[in-house]
Amino acid sequence: MHLITAATVLLCRIEIESRLRTWGLELAQRVGFLKARVAVARKLAVIMLGMWKSGSPFRADGEPSLFLQQEEAGLDPVLISGTQISL
């Protein structure tokens, strides 16, 4: 439900262009707004899962993050917390 709302806001209210918004608006013209917002919601879910797994922030321009990954920065979760959480 929240992802559908986020997709609707992205397509209707947000004025800043992003590749995701452009893709969603083009899709809406081809298949209709209701199907396009579900597709954008799914794509948001995939993007957020990838961000969660990698620890990287969202970038509207689609470029890779400038931040180091945990391993590259020397932040080993096992050494810090003593436990390992598998994703």
Residue numbers of the domain that contains 74: 2-81
Q: Is 52 exposed, middle or buried (0-12, 13-18, 19+ CB in 10 A)?
A: exposed
8 within a domain of the structure (yes/no): yes
What's the pTM? 0.68
86 within a domain of the structure (yes/no): no
65 within a domain of the structure (yes/no): yes
87 within a domain of the structure (yes/no): no
Residue 73 DSSP class: T
Domain count, the chain: 1
| Per-residue model confidence as pLDDT tens digits over 26-82 | 999 999 999 999 999 999 999 888 888 888 777 766 665 555 555 555 555 555 555
Q: How far is residue 82 CA from its own chain's centroid?
A: 29
67 within a domain of the structure (yes/no): yes
69 within a domain of the structure (yes/no): yes
